[in-house]
Structure 1
């Protein structure tokens, strides 16, 4: 299998899907399902959330050219934003012949927080919790013997003292290996089950008992070398590096910089049925962990005008539970990715985030972000202006020649063709 398909964007949706399915040897059933002919139904929706009245389809595109840890991979991305999939694919192409993306993974530990208040002697309570560590861990693991049988479960404690407005409170962190699950249900069940024991041990009152989405023990790092992206243009290279420097110094720039990263990450998280809000919250919290909000990526100059990038990001994603198994398109996406573990999925997602960030900065350092984005957005504007599906490519071509992508200009082109 190869993820390098030159001219993939020029193919029709049917031809693109045929190419992907031919590479992966998937079935006709997979084809009809992802095209919506036999896929997600209102009954599926009603089983997933409450008060269902319908559902909102989101386009799924395939990012090509990705090689992650030596293996080619097609990446499904669910997003409504033009240029995201194209940008990721183009960035990945620049790494393909330099080895693609190389990743590392710290493990699948999640934190469950148990907040203890009304303590007469908070430091004594902290010490008592550590003294009962084995008992606490055993009670946690009794809640999920299946997870424990796969090598997961509660592994350790991290007890912290927090100064509140009126009192010192103790917050016990359960460190739980959730393996191939995102882990929210397992962590929350354990935190709730152990709370009465914690009250007995400390003499205090447990208030909150819930997981933390700051998954700082579930970190993925990915690096890649982007091969001479500016064809030796030293001014553009300097602009690229200046832009990355600003993202580490200025939170106003860092917010947009990291949003660009999450354009890629959240698209894959959504396509695989994982929790986009949990991943977004964890990533932005991690960007602030130093006390100042900063970039999730770092960039350096390499040899022969190459640029080397590295991303470090917490990724609490899974393949077990929730929509990852309940949603047929999410299951299809994991088939396309050919992932068998949550670890492999996280490594791919981090690589997409790095590619997306590179593409955004590259555009800013050269022609600007808007021209390429608006050219792709012109398809949406043409449809809004009343163009038929057969006219859209011609309208985009004419708007590109004219060099303007305002809605009134697009509308005038549509009217001239009708």
Structure 2
């Protein structure tokens, strides 16, 4: 059977989604029920899905939850979060509740600037060539702004020019940075077009050959910031505060811990980025690159003790998100999420997302510093295990509770518990 199967399927991309699905079902031996589940694309119409990406056969439905208790810059907001991981949404709710009375989260944004890079190689006099490009800043601005009149109309456009001489394994490269205000767009398409259009001019000015012309996902001119104070009486006293600060110090010093610490931050951030149809990979890449900007990979958050002994937390993170492009504009769930958030600018969205990242991190560190992360996580994980064991309806909670009480959250145990329960 396996020898006759071929993944060379001529014209697959031209076939309608249902036909593609049938081909895949035959290839993989999917039964009718599995194929029907793939064909059910939920709130995303099959036709729209087929236009968003290539070779569509179905959709991957991720649960959408709402985090409550969030107050951002004095305004109460509900936070839509798309994630498959248990306890992530609850963590944001809990963190936000514990700083709500103290004023919630205060946020700011450094701007809505994106960077496009133009790589030039084979330049005889790279340092002089760098100056030749910088001298043409007015020409550069004219070319860039000519690419996107709509962006200009909304107050965006070219803002600044940077040129670096980079020593690399294949010799010096002249790297031109176009700094562009992309306003409510994430901005990838806008800045890529500008880089493409300017490239021949750069080649001419430098006498070199231009290769890559592409945005940078290290959006360090677009930093979202959030801070909050958690009063001691809300979090359980000075021992908890010191435990959280100690956990932050561990992450700041050790990349092995920082990777997990920052992953927890991204649990919150990526869930909102996905819910609003934005690019999770772009935001993740920018965050982790920023965490290593000083040559050492560390924490994206900081926790300190205030003058009167409360816990103060802060975050600063690149946040390239938009309201007006790609899936954000086309996906009905993304549109509903933006409506729930009540955001009318990419700036407000970025600021709220940073606050969610800080909330998520606070909860994770508090759990680690007190009961350990497994206790709360296991209670929710036990429900998944109960489902896997075949529990239905109210059996799920009953089996899960028993597993947690016994302190053994395993599928074989869940099956035994379920059998006892059904025998009654």
Do the two structures share a fold, i.e. TM-score over 0.5?
Answer: yes
Per-residue Cα deviation, 1:58-117 (whole angstroms, up to 9, x for no partner): 000000000000000000000000000001110000110000000011110000000011
Q: 1:160 to 1:227 in 2, by over 3 A?
A: same
* Residue aligned with 1:174, SS: strand
Q: State how far apart, in whole Å, the 2-side matches of 1:333 and 1:38 are.
A: 16
SS of the equivalent of 1:169 reads: strand
Aligned to 1:29: none
Could you say which residue in structure 1 is the equivalent of 2:272? 268
Number of the residue aligned with 2:142: 138
Distance 2:73 2:199 in 1: 42
- Asked if residue 296 in structure 1 is aligned to residue 300 in structure 2, the reply is yes
The partner residue of 1:332 within 320, 336, 342 is: 336
Does the 8 Å CA contact 1:65/1:74 hold for their aligned counterparts? yes
Equivalent pair of 1:231/1:305 in contact (CA under 8 Å) = no
1:231 and 2:231 aligned: no
Please state whether the residue corresponding to 2:210 is helix, strand or coil.
strand
> Which whole-Å CA distance do the structure 2 matches of 1:225 and 1:238 have between them?
14
1:149 maps onto 2:153 in alignment: yes
Please say which structure displays the higher CA radius of gyration. Answer: 2
Pairing 1:173-212 to 2, within 5 Å after superposition: 173-212=177-216
Cα offset, 1:303, TM superposition: 6.0
What aligned pairs does 1:2-401 form with structure 2 within 5 A after superposition? 39-228=43-232, 229-232=234-237, 234-302=238-306, 306-401=310-405
Paired residues in the alignment total 382
SS for the counterpart of 2:147 is coil
Quick check: 2:385–2:400 contact (8 Å CA) kept in 1? no
**Counterpart for residue 406 of structure 2:** 402
> Which ranges in structure 1 are unaligned for 5 or more consecutive residues?
1-35
Shift of residue 42, structure 1, vs aligned partner: 1.6
1:145-204 Cα distance to aligned partner (Å, 9 max, x none): 000111101111011110012321110000010000100010111100110111111111
Cα gap change, 1:186/1:55 in structure 2, threshold over 3 Å: closer, same or farther?
A: same
- CA drift of 1:38 comes to 7.0
* 1:209-251 deviations in Å (ceiling 9; x for gaps): 000000000001100011224422x443332221110111111
Quick check: 2:112–2:221 contact (8 Å CA) kept in 1?
yes
- Structure 2 alignment gaps of length 5 or more: 1-39
SS at structure 2 position matched to 1:142: helix
Structure-1 separation of matches of 2:386 and 2:157: 53
Quote the Cα distance in structure 2 between the aligned partners of 1:398 and 1:141. Answer: 64
**Contact in 2 for aligned 1:222/1:347 (Cα 8 Å):** yes
1:37: how far off? Answer: 9.9
2: CA distance, partners of 1:365 / 1:81: 21
1:290-348 Cα shifts (integer Å, max 9, x gaps): 11101000101236653110001000000011100111001010010000000000010
User: Aligned partners of 2:70 and 2:170: how far apart in 1?
Assistant: 53
